[in-house]
């Protein structure tokens, strides 16, 4: 079962109360206060785990409460701290506060974590309240209450490229052909109900391709399951837009292309600016090439003709996608800083040689022009041992 959105109630453990105690020991008539502090309550932590791929593991339980801290005891003994609860979620999970709506943290990388409900601090025992004028204090502090809130977990798949298009455009068939993924495939629309991921190998490189469920007109306003699917597009670097040449309802392919672009723009304007590769699918059908040429004229850019059945254009499409993804990753990574090699002083003798490493260090003669002069001076004779 694929689950990409959950609402959970989380509560940190309450802190333990401080103790009121006095030292009772033989030959110590006035031992004084020795009440220990209460333990801290446990916290609820959400952490990204590379081994998790869905939120289904948390779907069967709605309330998560960490343990309370133990009460302090006599002889200045500290109460036991409550145990934390760690909720493991897939990388790419967005953690929100349900009531206020703000983002607590975006868990993008494995190991990222956020404390969603902090445990309360333990109260102080009466040993903290002693003073010259209050030698037998009976004051103590109750533990602080732990934080509690409702949170929303939204999974946005992290993929290098995403397949978009209207239902029955051939997205799942394409994913099954270029990767080892096994999405549900059937000759009717809305077969894909949740995103599928596959790893595509191109030469020595590879990238993650996501099969996103088909969108319909009005998805940006919530029609169908539009909001459930559109958020997965946000994480992709590249969009592969499949256009069916001859839809079953007789609609115009150019009109269908514009529907998807409009839905992306209305959901989030930044999605329309993502780089894309436009393809006409089902290229084995007669007349598909004419549809491809028409889209090229209307778009003013190259449109690929592919067929997941015969393999037409798949190598060209995957190769182009791999190159574009590599370019986007390079552009997003920090620019490399050139390394400057300092002219360090060194002890040089007649048999000292400087060798340049190709591609790493400059030419030795340019770096140390005085080296030839050093080698020209003969080594001074050493006195013989008497």
**In the chain, how many domains are there?**
2
Q: What is the mean pLDDT of residues 19-32?
A: 87
- Helix (H) or strand (E) holding 65, with range, is strand 63-65
Q: Give the pLDDT confidence of 216-242 residue by residue, as tens digits.
A: 555 445 544 545 667 777 778 899 999
Confidence label for 339 from pLDDT (cuts 50, 70 and 90): very low
Residue predicted with more confidence, 48 or 225: 48
C-alpha closest to that of 230 among 240, 243, 215, 242:
215
Q: Give the pLDDT confidence of 163-221 residue by residue, as tens digits.
A: 988 888 888 889 889 988 777 666 655 666 667 788 888 888 888 888 877 565 554 45
CATH of the domain at 104: 2.70.210.12
Which one of 155, 179, 194 terminates a domain?
155
Q: Domain span at residue 13?
A: 1-155
CATH of the domain at 195: 3.40.50.300
Phi, psi of 159 (to 5 degrees): -135, 155
Together in a domain, 174 and 110 = no
Which one of 155, 173, 191 terminates a domain?
155
Together in a domain, 166 and 138 = no
Together in a domain, 19 and 118 = yes
What is the rounded CA–CA span in Å between residue 85 and residue 45? 6
Percent of the chain at pLDDT exceeding 90: 47
Together in a domain, 179 and 306 = yes
Q: Do 238 and 332 contact (CB within 8 A), yes or no?
A: no
Together in a domain, 87 and 195 = no
Alpha-carbon distances, residue 90 vs 46, 50, 97, 229, 284 (angstroms): 10, 6, 18, 17, 38
What is the rounded CA–CA span in Å between residue 162 and residue 213? 10
pTM: 0.64
Which one of 113, 137, 155 terminates a domain?
155
Together in a domain, 260 and 312 = yes
């Amino acid at each position: 079962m694929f689950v990409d959105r959950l609402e959970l109630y989380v509560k940190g453990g309450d802190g333990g109360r401080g103790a009121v105690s006095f030292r009772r020991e033989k030959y110590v008539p006035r031992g004084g206060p020795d009440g220990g502090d209460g333990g801290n309550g446990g916290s609820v932590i959400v952490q990204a785990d590379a081994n998790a791929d869905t939120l289904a593991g948390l779907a069967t339980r709605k309330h998560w409460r960490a343990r309370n801290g133990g009460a302090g005891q006599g002889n200045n003994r500290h109460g036991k701290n409550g145990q934390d609860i760690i909720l493991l979620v897939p990388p790419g999970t967005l953690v929100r506060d349900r009531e206020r709506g703000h983002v607590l943290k975006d868990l993008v990388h494995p190991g990222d974590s956020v404390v969603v409900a902090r445990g309360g601090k333990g109260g102080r025992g009466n040993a903290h309240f002693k003073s010259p004028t209050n030698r037998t204090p009976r004051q103590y502090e109750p533990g602080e209450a732990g934080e509690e809130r409702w949170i929303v977990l939204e999974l946005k798949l992290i993929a290098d490229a995403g397949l978009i298009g209207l239902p029955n455009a051939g997205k799942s068939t394409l994913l099954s052909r270029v990767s080892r993924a096994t999405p549900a495939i059937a000759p009717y629309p809305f077969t894909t109900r949740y995103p599928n991921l596959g790893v595509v190998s191109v030469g020595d490189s590879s990238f993650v391709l996501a099969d996103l469920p088909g969108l319909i007109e009005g998805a940006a306003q919530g029609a169908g399951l539009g909001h459930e699917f559109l958020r997965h597009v946000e994480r992709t670097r590249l969009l592969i837009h499949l256009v069916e040449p001859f839809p079953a309802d007789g609609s115009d392919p150019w009109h269908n292309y514009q529907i998807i672009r409009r839905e992306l723009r209305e959901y989030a304007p930044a999605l329309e600016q993502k780089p894309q590769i436009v393809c006409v699918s089902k290229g084995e059908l007669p007349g598909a090439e004419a549809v491809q040429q028409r889209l090229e004229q209307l778009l003013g850019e190259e449109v690929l003709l592919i067929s997941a059945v015969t393999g037409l254009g798949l190598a060209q499409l995957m190769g182009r996608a791999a190159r574009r993804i590599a370019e986007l990753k390079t552009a997003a990574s920090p620019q490399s800083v050139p390394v400057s090699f300092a002219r360090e002083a060194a002890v040089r003798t007649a048999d000292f040689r400087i060798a340049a490493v190709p591609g790493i260090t400059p030419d030795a003669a340019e770096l140390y022009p005085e080296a030839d002069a050093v080698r020209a001076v003969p080594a001074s004779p050493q006195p013989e041992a008497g």
